[in-house]
Amino acid sequence: MTNLVVVDDESLVTDFLTFLLEGEGYAIHAASNGKEALDVVDRVRPALVVTDLMMPVMSGLAFARALRERAAFRQLPIILCTAAPDPVTPQEAHLFAAILRKPYAPARLVELVALHAARAPDGEATPGEPA
């Protein structure tokens, strides 16, 4: 089973994403902020991460930067889900395999997860692909 990590400070969101993505056959590991997610990623070595942007302790952007500093996770696909109108600068977009604007259709997230989780971690994913 493919491991995924979902990161959001709203437990209703992580519960929904867990339900949605487990229904697609993924094993989901949830974290409530970027700092906690770093520990989870180290432990489970996921194929992909879905993260919120605005969270306490460590934001989704700081989390993505921290992952990219680790050699083992430089190519790990990260999908950013956010309601922020301009969540990242053009210089930061490369940190993410996709950026999904809230509210989004759950089917679109499932589609992006399937696309990026299936890709080998060799840089094939299109960084910052708008969703």
The per-residue pLDDT for range 3-57, each reduced to its tens digit, is 999 999 999 999 999 999 999 999 999 999 999 999 999 999 999 999 999 999 9
Task: For residues 16 and 81, give the distance between their C-alpha atoms in angstroms, rounded to a whole number.
Answer: 14
Q: What's domain 3-130's superfamily in CATH?
A: Response regulator (3.40.50.2300)
CA nearest to 116, candidates 19, 1, 4: 4
The per-residue pLDDT for range 55-79, each reduced to its tens digit, is 999 999 999 999 999 999 999 999 9
- Domain map (residue ranges) of the chain: 3-130
Q: What share of the chain is helix, strand, coil (3-state, %, to 5)?
A: 40, 20, 40
Q: Which residues contact 103 (CB under 8 A, 6 or more apart)?
A: 83
Flag whether the pTM goes above 0.85: yes
pLDDT at 130 over 90: no
**Angle ∠(121,84,86) on CA atoms, nearest 5:** 75
